[in-house]
Chains A and B, each alone.
Chain A
Amino acid sequence: MHYRMHVPENAGSNITLHARLLYRKFAWWNTQFSFAGEPDPEQPQPGVDADDRKFNFHGSLKGVSAKHEEITDVPIETVAENEVTLPVTGHGSAPLQQKTELHAEDWQRWNDYGIGLFLQGDLKAAQAAFQKVTELDAKNPDGWVNLGRVAVQEGDMERARGVLEKALALKPDLARANFFYAKVLRNDGKYDDAVSRLRVVVAQYPRDRVALNDLGRILFLQRKYQDAVQQLQAVLAIDPEDLQAQYNLMLCYSGLGDPTQAHEHEVRYLRFKADESAQAITGNYRLLHPEDNNERQAIHEHVSVKLPVGASAKVSQKYARRQNAVPKAARPKYTKLQYAKPGVGN
């Protein structure tokens, strides 16, 4: 998520940004529902296919699975809070050079930040964050591994090879480094070498489904169907609904000339796989609710309201509060239920 802020003309030479991250373990509604939810007696009986009755929260708390027979007031905690003061320059003036101060003890925060960016799909920013980890501690393989992970995701196998080899030089049996290096080797068509790397991973983490699946897939590509089945069945022993294992088992049994088993795994695969067309169902909703559509974009902006020129600090705070409020169109429709408005941190 990116924030774009309009800086008032009279902001002065500095502007201070204050951010805090709030967290509550369970949503208020879900907590009420879990402890005291009961179907609204005014509602008609549900049909066979769906139960979309409204609930109230007046149910008995007797015997509820908690220390006390009362609805827990799950607190909202401030997980992190920080403040930064930035210099303000005039329109048209050259932007000031940003200077990032690096502190050795911050490597994990840079690493976590990079992982967050990576999961969001912001690969460029993730790479920059992981680069900081390696600058702070070049002897720590984590930064190199994560740089390799970004490069693999970007399809830049040459870059991935370079950084992963640095990680492996620091710690040859590091499972994560071996796992991603196996991907590079596989892209080179070096299936035997990739299998060796994955066996290093599986020896340390015999219940790692991702590594087992990768191993099974490469063995399938080598037409070593029986060996592949062994690895993929090990995945199903951990999670019988593992999609990738079901899919590749279907192919392996086809390769082995066993249509019965192949069909069995095809049926299971089709049962467990995601419905690719599901997203399209949200099309009309997204069209009608641009704020929610914005939220679903992997990288999206929250833009502050432009303050009137000469606004006082009080006015500024009022505008800021308004900006932080949930947009009307995005608010859940709870009107038929009797309960307090959910707070922040759901």
Chain B
Amino acid sequence: MRKLMAAAVLFAGCVPAFSQIQFRDITAQAGLRFTHNNAAFGKKYLPETMGPGCAFIDYDGDGYPDILLVNGEDWQGHKRTTSTLKLYHNNHDGTFTDVTAKAGLAVSLFGLGVAVGDYDNDGHDDIFVSALGQSRLFHNNGNGTFTDVTKAAGLWGPNEFSTSAAWVDYDRDGKLDLVVANYVQWSIDGDLRCTLDGTHKSYCTPESYKGTSARLWHNRGGGKFEDATQKAGLYDPTSKSLGIAVLDYNGDGLPDIFLANDTQPNKLYLNRGNGTFEEKAVASGVAFSEDGIARAGMGVDAGDYDRSGHPSLIISNFANQMLSLYHNEGNGLFVDEAPRSEVGRNTLVTLGFACFFFDYDNDGWPDIFIADGHIENEVERVQKRVKYAEPPHLFRNLGGGKFQEVTEALGAAFAAPRVGRGAAYADIDNDGALDLLLTTNGGPAYLFRSTGVTNHSLRVKLVGTKSNRDGIGAVVRITAGNDKQNTQSQMLRSGSSYLSQSELVLTFGLGSRTQAEALEIQWPSGQVDKLANVPGDQTVIVQEAKGIVGSRGYGKGK
């Protein structure tokens, strides 16, 4: 393994400084005092064990990501406490202030997931919260407050078990549309008894319940949405979706949609460019396990982890099912590479939820984070190795398609077992390194600050003009050095992970290099902007068809 790492270091041309990196638990000092209300009171109702999600959102546009935490609420007749969404403002000094009430977000609902996007292109990011029952859309008024516009936007009505959500401009009209994953048809009256040990009730797996189609909300403009699920060919009532990833897997410039389904085949919807999609998951090899059997897909993300130029997929699965690491072969086919590396072996026993690619050590190779935690607190009664609270996984990308687990080296607090669910990343302290936010079921949300990263990075914030304002769906390619093999690519994406949303800024690790020789942005509108010799250690704000319109330095770039 050492040989491999050395080879990777040479190949990437980076400083082997990853061993100094720590993720420090700064939850308490940051002022995050949040406990998820999962509403559990002994009846083991399925929705209790699924949440919550979390998001980084720069709601006041000051360049520092703020935090939104989703919460549940007590069941009717079992009211014990009042729980609401929570919004924490980033004070720029490593601390956060609870501004929930002031922002108008002290809303109680059985919330599960969240997606952030500027759907009306007014320059202020809005919030969609998915829920059991009625999901909500909160419009950012631009003055630190939000207004619930669910009814006015035409989103009122569906009472579903909604999970992850993602903003995507699927028809490339410059307005963000919304795709919402739905889980199963569940109600208290229809709750079934399942048991793991023959004695105690446990949470049922979703096979027992009927599925629900995901919904695609088309943005008509003027703050109005229409249900385009059937028209676009996304209607599938058998789906039991938990995760959404938006990716352009065939490189045609159109955003495709992947749905991670729990005990149902995953779905890969190829965007045909005419407002409709074609389902391709089976033929692409991402619908099933190798036996042709549906797995329990939870979280999902897409990323070009091997610099092939094609986004590959990771999908977290149930305990005793390893993470799927579907390598995009570039010909419509995906091949699962998980068993070849520690990514597969080390995730076999754990139950993963949130999962994503992010370059934690800024060496230019996207690493993999997975939040773990079982759904059943009594699972240890019947399975020796499987635990309820489980440590997360962080796999360092060694290049050449190899990964190495480094979780324990990142600090005891980070590696502690928890009942993880949602997770997101952002640079909360403007040091050019990515920090982590993790939620736990029925427990606290944790904020981990990255320290000890010495590699350089370049961060890119997009401002669309013809494209949607956030630039969601844009593919950014960076070449550090003149070798084309050093080209990294990322799509600015909403969704991914599990129930959660990371910041809408892209971070590219540069290793020991201090600039990107080439920076190319392929906007959703089709516009391609090319920039040369962009210095690292800064966040650049790039406007569509205009180039860099602002920047903020960090580290040596200050």
Give residues in A with beta carbon < 8 Å to B.
2, 4, 121-124, 127, 153-157, 186-189, 191, 213, 217, 220-221, 223, 243-244, 246-248, 250-251, 254-255, 257, 262-263, 266, 269-270, 273, 276-277, 279-280, 282-284, 286-287, 290, 293-294, 297, 299-301
Contacts and interface: CB of A to CB of B under 8 A. Distances in A.
Interface string B300-343: 00000000000000000001101000000101110110011100
Contacts of A121: 382
Contact of A280 (B211, B283, B344): B211
A123 B348 CA distance: 16
Contacts of B331: 254-255, 257
A299 B197 CA distance: 6
B207 A279 contact: yes
A251 B348 CA distance: 23
Most buried by B among A250, A284, A290: A250
B384 to A, nearest CB: 6
Interface centre among B208, B290, B349 (most CB of A within 10 A): B290
Interface stretch (B187-195, B392-400, B531-539, B540-548): B187-195
A270 B282 contact: yes
Interface string B373-402: 000000000111110000000000000000
Given A157-B348, A221-B339, A251 B211 contact: no
B145 interface: no
A251 B209 contact: no
B63 interface: no
A113 to B, nearest CB: 17
A341 B436 CA distance: 65
Given A290-B193, A297-B195, 20 more contacts: A154-B320, A155-B385, A156-B349, A186-B339, A189-B340, A243-B292, A244-B290, A247-B288, A247-B290, A248-B290, A254-B284, A254-B285, A255-B335, A266-B282, A276-B238, A283-B190, A294-B193, A297-B194, A300-B195, A300-B198
A251 B333 contact: yes
5 A-B pairs closest in CB distance: A247-B292, A155-B348, A189-B340, A299-B198, A279-B207
A279 B331 CA distance: 35
B210 interface: yes
A301 B211 CA distance: 29
A233 to B, nearest CB: 16
Contacts of B329: 255
B199 interface: yes
Contacts of A299: 195-198, 382
Contacts of A251: 285, 333, 335
Contacts of A255: 329, 331, 333, 335
B291 interface: yes
Nearest to B292: A247
User: Interface residue tally of chain B, by bracket?
Assistant: 35 or more
A contact patch SS: helix
Contacts of A269: 282, 292
Contacts of B344: 187, 189
B336 A254 contact: no
**Listed residue (A220, A251, A257, A286) with the most chain B CB atoms within 10 angstroms of its CB:** A251
Contacts of B290: 217, 244, 247-248
B362 interface: no
A276 B292 contact: no
Interface in B158-209: 184, 190, 192-199, 207-209
A280 B208 contact: yes
B202 to A, nearest CB: 9
A277 B320 contact: no
Contact of A124 (B193, B209, B263, B382): B382
Contacts of B285: 251, 254
A246 B288 CA distance: 13
B345 interface: yes
B199 A301 contact: yes
Contacts of A263: 283
B198 A276 contact: no
A124 B282 contact: no
B123 to A, nearest CB: 44
Nearest to A246: B292
Given A255-B329, A276-B238, A280-B208, A221 B384 contact: no
A124 B292 CA distance: 27
Interface of B: 184, 190, 192-199, 207-211, 238, 263-265, 282-285, 288, 290-292, 294, 319-320, 322, 329, 331-333, 335-336, 339-341, 344-345, 348-349, 382-386
B383 A279 contact: no
Nearest to B319: A155
Nearest to A254: B333
Nearest to B294: A276
A115 B305 CA distance: 42
A221 B285 CA distance: 12
Contacts of A220: 335
28 contacts: A121-B382, A153-B320, A154-B320, A154-B349, A154-B383, A154-B385, A154-B386, A155-B348, A187-B339, A187-B348, A188-B345, A189-B344, A189-B345, A221-B335, A243-B292, A244-B290, A244-B291, A254-B283, A255-B335, A277-B264, A280-B184, A280-B210, A282-B208, A284-B190, A286-B192, A297-B194, A299-B195, A300-B195
Nearest to A191: B340
B339 to A, nearest CB: 6
Contact of A122 (B211, B341, B382, B385): B382
B102 to A, nearest CB: 44
A295 B190 CA distance: 19
Contacts of B345: 157, 187-189
B49 to A, nearest CB: 18
Contacts of A284: 190
Nearest to A299: B198
Contacts of A262: 283
A287 B189 CA distance: 9
Given A122-B382, A155-B320, A223-B335, A189 B341 contact: yes
Nearest to B189: A287
Contacts of A123: 382-384
B382 A283 contact: no
B318 to A, nearest CB: 11
A189 B1 CA distance: 13
A195 B414 CA distance: 38
A277 B210 contact: yes
B375 to A, nearest CB: 16
Contacts of A213: 291
B333 A293 contact: no
Nearest to A127: B384
B384 A277 contact: no
A257 B329 CA distance: 12
A280 B208 CA distance: 5
Contact of B332 (A155, A188, A254, A286): A254
Contact of A266 (B197, B207, B283, B340): B283
Nearest to A250: B283
A157 B348 CA distance: 9
Nearest to A279: B207
B333 A287 contact: no
A247 B349 contact: no
A254 B292 CA distance: 15
Contacts of A248: 290, 292
Contacts of B383: 123-124, 154
A297 to B, nearest CB: 5
A4 B344 CA distance: 40
A301 B348 contact: no
Nearest to A153: B320
A136 to B, nearest CB: 22
B237 to A, nearest CB: 9
Contacts of A287: 190, 192
Contact of A283 (B209, B282, B339, B349): B209
B208 A286 contact: yes
Nearest to B402: A189
